[in-house]
Amino acid sequence: MGRAIGIDLGTTNSCAAFVENGKPKVITYKDGSRTIPSMFAIDKKGNRLVGKEAQDQAAINPQNTIAASKRLIGRSFGSNAMEKMQQVFTYELVEGESSEVLIKVADQVFTLEQISAAILRRIKDQAEDALNDEVDQAVITVPAYFNDRQRQAVRSAGKLAGLKVLRVLNEPTAAALAYGLGRTLNQRVAIYDLGGGTFDISIIDIKDKIFEVIATGGDTFLGGVDFDDRLMQWVLQTFVDDTGVDVSYDRSAVTRIRDASEQAKIKLSDETSTHISLKHICDDDDGTPLDLELDVSREKLEELTTDLIDRSIATCERILMEAGTSREQVDEMLLVGGQSRMPLVRTKLAQFIGKQPSQKVHPDEAVGIGAAIMAHSLSSKAGPQDMMLLDVLPMAIGINKVDGTMHVLFAKNQPLPDYKTRTLTTSKNNQRSIMLRIYQGESKFVAENELLGTFVFSGLREAPKGMVKIEVTFHIDSEGILNLTARDIDTGQLVESRLKLGKDPDAPKRPSTSAPKPKKKPKKKVEDEPAPTKPPPSLNMPNSQLQAKPSIAKPAQEDAPMPISQAAKKAPQKAAQPSAEQPPVPAAQPGFFGRIIAWFKGLFGG
């Protein structure tokens, strides 16, 4: 068996690490870099490019270069999330048969799992070169606020990349592992993770080798790319004011300006001012080449983005309340993610928490290091006895009721793993199937939450209505992923169940997600490139070329039977027998020692 590594699959950059002789190390690649840009592209010759190669040609091939795709993974095409994101992407998004988001690149259509798999495969290959050994196992991190579908999608991407995914681990929790390694601590820490695409905050108690997450939350639409976008929009408007030429329609110009804005933002963390210089950004109406020359101050950047930082702090305040703790009870606030380097972030957090944030973890590498620690623990003979990790569910999971509200099965910040059982009955004579829609989110209305999928329990025996009762067990594993099993209470036989992905019938109709087109196009420097030819079949990613009507990669529920923990099998919770529309109130949450017992049962299958 090969090596196990930890992978921080980031929105903008990805990082990998491993453990050697008990010490974690970040993998350094042949070019000396310690991160890989999370980018994928197909060039004019049909070659597939990943990482730095894709990044280097983005300005001349923006429509076929995929960046920040992590924000899309596991999303439904018609969701509110898509409406927010589609306006800022330069590549084409299309809807799949099951309402999943697909990406069109060079006349080919890819799932988000396949794009992520290409990045993971590049990380795997370069890690093998650096370690001179086979790498076939990994712990992959995700934002704490990722829902079930997003976590399933990351697992599928890892499998496509040829990796055995040992665990999907929350990024703030991984950072806490990196912080606590080799130290005897008794602390309550807050992990403030402001990365390239998402923001997370987690409150974690560290007691020696026990890491207990108390509460977690975040914002999947707040990250470094939003800071870049604010500065980019200001640069575009300033250029219009100075020259009268609007280049916002020009994908190549926008890509160059976005990249320059990101670099300026990074420099302004160390300097009070910087200069953006882009030669021949476009032509004016007379065909004269125009350059973009602009000074940017730290003060201007802070003016443009202070509300984004305030949004993150408002989330911190809410999560502290959910954790039942005060700012004074937080011993350390750890800053993770590249955007946390911004001086105004540190200043505002110091004012909020009442002390200077800790600098005891590397903001870019802590998550990858923590993932490597977990990978080593899960793959070594010593096993997870080295540490105990108790995590929580980031968002509530429930089912729809007849009035359109959500009956919560698992509450937000529910300790993991856990399970619930519910009894469903038929409502018609000789009814052969029961359908149950599962949602995740924080709204009381299902239409405002994410539809995880529709489970169909079929093959029921024919009987008068109400005479067939099936007991459904909902099992949330330690990664926050939902699994279901069902059995006929009278016969004891398992009931066939399958997951259907598709549009939510309860969701309101949404307007078109296409951005408005400009009324008149000014002259531009670069004409649209013709679509590149399709690449040959010998490629670096399996199952990547799809048909005209592609379907999403199968989620875990369709790859294997839906498992249930041995503990759940031995001691199922008995409940009342309502209909599928009106389930009973969930059971109370277990205490600390109950969580430890559940953790051991889930771990050793007993």
The yes-or-no verdict on residue 476 having pLDDT over 50 is yes
The yes-or-no verdict on residue 594 having pLDDT over 70 is no
Predicted pLDDT at 82: 72
C-alpha distances (whole Å) from 586 to each of 45, 281, 581, 589 are: 57, 59, 14, 9
- Minimum mean pLDDT among 204-213, 335-344, 422-431, 553-562: which range? 553-562
Residue % of the chain over a pLDDT of 90: 69
* Model confidence band, residue 512 (pLDDT cutoffs 50, 70, 90): very low
Catalytic annotation, residues: 8, 70, 171, 193
Predicted pLDDT at 602: 45
Dump pLDDT digits (tens) for 132-185: 999 999 999 999 999 999 999 999 999 999 999 999 999 999 999 999 988 889
The yes-or-no verdict on residue 592 having pLDDT over 80 is no
Please tell me the distance from the alpha carbon of residue 477 to that of residue 602, in angstroms, as a whole number. 8
Predicted pLDDT at 181: 84
- Minimum mean pLDDT among 49-53, 173-177, 311-315, 544-548: which range? 544-548
Please tell me the distance from the alpha carbon of residue 322 to that of residue 275, in angstroms, as a whole number. 43
The yes-or-no verdict on residue 24 having pLDDT over 60 is yes
User: 509 versus 569: which is more confidently predicted?
Assistant: 509
Predicted pLDDT at 31: 83
The yes-or-no verdict on residue 552 having pLDDT over 80 is no
Q: Which domains does the chain have, with CATH numbers?
A: 3-215+314-386 (3.30.420.40), 224-303 (3.90.640.10), 397-507+556-604 (2.60.34.10)
For the chain, give the mean pLDDT: 83
Comparing CA positions, the residue from 478, 496, 479 lying closest to residue 487 is 496
Whole-model pTM: value is 0.81
Sign (positive or negative) of CA dihedral 261, 516, 102, 524:
negative
Predicted pLDDT at 2: 87
Predicted pLDDT at 545: 29
DSSP string, 94-145: EE-TTSBEEEEETTEEEEHHHHHHHHHHHHHHHHHHHHTS-EEEEEEEE-TT
The yes-or-no verdict on residue 455 having pLDDT over 60 is yes
Predicted pLDDT at 88: 61
Comparing CA positions, the residue from 435, 541, 441 lying closest to residue 495 is 435
Predicted pLDDT at 503: 56
The yes-or-no verdict on residue 506 having pLDDT over 90 is no
Q: What are phi and psi of 36, to 5 degrees?
A: -125, 125
- For the segment 491-496, the average pLDDT, to the nearest whole number, is 90
Q: Can you tell me whether residue 424 is helix, strand or coil?
A: strand
* Model confidence band, residue 382 (pLDDT cutoffs 50, 70, 90): very low
Identify the helix (H) or strand (E) that includes residue 85.
helix 80-85
Predicted pLDDT at 80: 67
- For the segment 512-520, the average pLDDT, to the nearest whole number, is 36
Predicted pLDDT at 183: 86
- For the segment 585-591, the average pLDDT, to the nearest whole number, is 39
Comparing CA positions, the residue from 425, 392, 395 lying closest to residue 409 is 395
Please tell me the distance from the alpha carbon of residue 43 to that of residue 37, in angstroms, as a whole number. 17
- For the segment 534-561, the average pLDDT, to the nearest whole number, is 30
The yes-or-no verdict on residue 376 having pLDDT over 70 is yes
- For the segment 204-214, the average pLDDT, to the nearest whole number, is 95
Predicted pLDDT at 591: 47
